[in-house]
Amino acid sequence: MENLVESLKEQLKEKGYKLTTQRRIILDVILENQGKHLSPEEIYEKVRGKFPEIGLATVYRTLQLFEELNIIYKLNFNDGCSRYELNTNNGDHQHHHLICLNCGKVIEVQLDLLEALEEEIEKSREFKIVDHNLKFFGYCKDCKK
């Protein structure tokens, strides 16, 4: 996804921000770990492998920035930290998460099927929906016994 680095550069320039080594490396780490839902601490550790001088605060600030730019999404799996995933743009956040209550594993489901529900809500509640977030809790194959 080399075009994502280009797109980042453009978006930053547009807003008067700068493309720093730190920001490029953080994006690299996120790209290299698609589907992994990394936490800020985990990203920090992986970035340190490539750029040991980086500070944790920079990681937090960069993740906030990337979220504003819609490059990533913040997730909450109730495990004590926030987690992030790449916004792949292929249909706009159209997948859900299965969270195992026993082992904590998170499985992605590439299904949406919420259109009917969204339509009904938009009509009857006068609410303009721009995003959704659906999590299922239960037990994965290994933990079902």
Q: How far is CA 33 from the centre of its chain?
A: 11
Q: Does 103 bind a second copy (CB under 8 A)?
A: no
Q: Phi/psi at 2 (nearest 5 deg)? A: -65, -30
* Pairwise CA distance, residues 123 & 35, whole Å: 34
Residues from 1 through 60 that contact DNA (CB under 7 A): 9, 12-13, 16-23, 39-41, 51, 53-58, 60
Annotated binding residue 10: no
Shortest Cβ distance from residue 64 to a second copy (Å)?
13
* Pairwise CA distance, residues 14 & 85, whole Å: 23
Are 75 and 90 in contact by the 8 Å Cβ rule? The answer is: no
Shortest Cβ distance from residue 135 to a second copy (Å)?
5
Q: Does 110 bind a second copy (CB under 8 A)?
A: no
Question: Can you give the binding site for a second copy, defined by CB under 8 A?
Answer: 74, 76, 78, 98, 100-101, 107, 109, 111, 113-114, 116-118, 120-121, 125-141, 144
